[in-house]
Each structure stands twice: as C-alpha cells, then as structure tokens.
Amino acid sequence: MTKAATLHQLDRLDQELSALFSELECYDDTRLNHRPSDGGWTVLQVLHHLILAETASLGYVRKKLSFNPILDKAGAKAAWRLFVVDFYFRMPTKFKAPKGVDRSALPDESDFESTRKQWETQRKALRHYLSHLPEERFDRELYKHPFAGKMTLRQMLKFFGMHIKRHQKQINRVLKEAAV
C-alpha cells in the first residue's frame, strides 16, 4: 500500500462522487428533501450521513497521528476486515448507523448546492491531508472502522466507496418514491 495507490483510490472515489452529483443535480430540493413513506432518510440526509462518516474518519486519523503512535503493519487481517465490511454492505439488511452519523446528526432539511460544497470541501481536506503524510504511514493499520476494526488509509477509501454504493440504492429508492 503506497501513497500513490491511496491517492489514486481517492481519484476514483472523487470520480464516483462527481457522477453522483451529476445524477442528483437535475432534481429540485423539494424532491431531494422528500421523506420516504417508511420514515427513512431523505436523499439529502443520506448525503449528509456520508459526509459525516468521511469527516469522522479523517478526524479519527488526525487524532490518532497527533500522538505519534506505533502502528502495526497491515496484512491479511486488515484485508479480511475490509472483506467483511463489503460482505455486509452487499446484504439487504439494514444497519443502525453509529452515533454521530445517525439521524440525530442529520439536518431535517437542506439544499443540494450547499451539501455538494460541504462534501467537496471535505474531500479537498482529505486529499490535502493524505498528500502531506509521509510514505511510511500508508502500509499501516491507521484507520479504525467502527464495526470491522483497523485498516489502512487506502482501505478506508475503499470503505468510503462501498458506503456510497450501499446508500446509492437507498437514494434511488427514495427518488423513485418521490416521483410518484
């Protein structure tokens, strides 16, 4: 796991985010704030959840590195943890969001443009931070997923991609319902 490979993963993630924004920009804020009949999250609440998850992840990494810890080199266990996350995300089962990224942390209503800008700002901060880390940090178990455990920074970014894909299904379902 190298810095270059991690930044390449971030490039792919940014492309996926750009595609999501392109898909959503044709909808008005009323539709994006539509509360589904099952009482679930609106599309914009889903986006805020994803932003908060990424923000909290970066915050964890920053805090972890602030005291210069000794970090284990990543290996098969970290790869297994990411596999487990991927496996669970592919299941149709709903999961309770961790505190801080759950419904209580989400705005009741928001607008697409400010949400997009917030996420783009978060991604720029993430890119800046990762770009300035020394190479030797990238093969270490530095990120801690709330359920699966320790992973590398590249695996953290892969989790972000999986997380967006999982919620994409929810976004599509809410948009479809809002059209009726």
Homologous superfamily of domain range 3-179? dinb family like domain (1.20.120.450)
Mean pLDDT, rounded, of the chain: 94
Is the pTM above the cut of 0.75? yes
pLDDT (tens digit per residue) in 28-69: 999 999 999 999 999 999 999 999 999 999 999 999 999 989
Query: Domain locations in the chain?
Result: 3-179
Would you list the DSSP string of the chain?
--HHHHHHHHHHHHHHHHHHHHHHTTS-HHHHTPPPTTS---HHHHHHHHHHHHHHHHHHHHHHHHT----PBP-HHHHHHHHHHHHHHHSS---PPPTTSSGGGS-SS--HHHHHHHHHHHHHHHHHHHHTS-GGGTTB--EEETTTEEE-HHHHHHHHHHHHHHHHHHHHHHHHHHH-
On the question of pLDDT at 1 being above 70, the answer is: no
Q: What is the pLDDT of residue 9?
A: 97
